[in-house]
């Protein structure tokens, strides 16, 4: 991904001018900005019929910018596709951020599915320590995901079922997937979420050598629109750690 130099250069100039009115970036500095690569920020990865839009936005301001960017990019991408296009949100937040307020900014994107998962890469292997927050238990992370799911349902007007149907049964092991509601799902890790979203249509993910994490047949059935769509647009946002975990699978070269 190339950093948008038409946007970046004026921004940097304004920042620098605010500190030193006589300073102006040199041609070498401008050239450096034009060549800058910033994975996980306004990054687009096209894997056949699945396009991933990755932005580690996790504040109100950055999410507003993310929504604007995603809307513009998908409008161009989807206009060239013949047939149905499905939009999927893959989201997580950490810390004390107001997830409900951030999710509200994403409403105009008109997602067909909202998928939530913690910043855990896989549930069946030893996880990458860089993706974990050791101050938060796995149960708390999954509970946060379900809270995000409920917030999205309230925003979208979806009827919320009894809380007992979303209990986290993790005494013995992690669930393969939490209880679902219309158009929203909670998965226990990044890999299981990506595998469900892509439905085997992402060649890079399918051939990466990662273990396949099976889900219940009822969950597989809900993915029929993803299998039949002409194109799937996936926005990954809300957490830099989430975006980093996704890039581990979608762009393995970054881990080498």
Q: State how beta strands 50-55 and 85-91 pair.
A: unpaired
The whole-angstrom separation of Cα 80 and Cα 72 is 13
Paired tokens of 32: 């450096």
Longest dimension (CA), the chain: 65
- Residue 218 confidence (pLDDT): 82
Please classify residue 186 by burial: count the beta carbons closer than 10 Å to its beta carbon, then call 0-12 exposed, 13-18 middle and 19+ buried: buried
Domain ranges of the chain: 1-38, 39-255
Instruction: List residues bridging with 91 in a β-sheet.
Output: 116, 237
**What does the pLDDT profile of the chain (256 residues) look like in tens digits?**
444 555 555 555 555 555 556 778 899 998 888 888 778 888 999 999 999 999 999 999 999 999 999 999 999 888 888 889 999 999 999 888 899 999 999 999 999 999 999 999 987 544 454 555 555 688 889 999 999 999 999 988 765 554 434 444 333 444 444 444 448 999 999 999 999 999 999 999 988 777 787 778 888 889 999 999 999 999 999 999 999 999 999 998 876 6
* Cβ(110)–Cβ(235) below 8 Å: no
- Asked if 92 and 239 count as a contact pair (C-beta separation under 8 A), the reply is yes
Q: Say how far apart CA 184 and CA 182 lie, in whole Å.
A: 6
Check residue 172 and give its pLDDT.
43
Residue 180's pLDDT is 40
- Tell me the whole-structure pTM to 2 decimals: 0.77
User: What per-residue confidence (pLDDT) applies to 161?
Assistant: 52
As its CATH architecture, domain 39-255 has Alpha-Beta Complex (3.90)
Q: CA gyration radius for the chain?
A: 19
- The residue length of the chain stands at 256
pLDDT confidence of residue 139: 86
């Amino acid at each position: 991904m190339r950093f948008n130099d038409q946007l970046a250069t004026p921004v940097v100039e304004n920042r620098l001018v605010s500190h030193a009115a006589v300073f102006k970036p040199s041609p070498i500095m401008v050239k450096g900005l034009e060549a800058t690569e910033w994975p996980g920020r306004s990054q687009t990865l096209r894997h056949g019929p699945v396009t991933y839009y990755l932005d580690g936005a996790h504040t109100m301001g950055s999410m507003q910018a993310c929504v604007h960017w995603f809307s513009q990019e998908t409008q161009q991408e989807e206009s060239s596709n013949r047939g149905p296009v499905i939009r999927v949100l893959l989201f997580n937040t950490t810390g004390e951020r107001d997830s409900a307020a951030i999710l509200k900014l994403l409403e105009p994107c008109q997602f067909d599915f909202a998928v939530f998962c913690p910043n855990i890469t896989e549930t069946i292997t030893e996880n990458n320590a860089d993706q974990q927050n050791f101050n938060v238990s796995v149960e708390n992370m999954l509970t946060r995901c379900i809270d995000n799911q409920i917030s999205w349902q309230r925003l979208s007007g979806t009827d919320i079922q009894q809380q007992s149907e979303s209990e986290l049964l993790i005494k013995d092991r992690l669930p393969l997937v939490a209880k679902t509601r219309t158009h929203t799902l909670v998965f226990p890790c990044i890999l299981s979420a990506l595998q469900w979203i892509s439905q085997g249509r992402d060649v890079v993910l399918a051939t990466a050598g990662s273990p396949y994490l099976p889900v219940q047949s009822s969950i597989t059935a809900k993915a029929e629109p993803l299998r039949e769509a002409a194109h799937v647009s996936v926005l990954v946002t809300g957490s830099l750690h989430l975006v980093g975990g996704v890039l581990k699978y979608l762009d393995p070269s970054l881990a080498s």
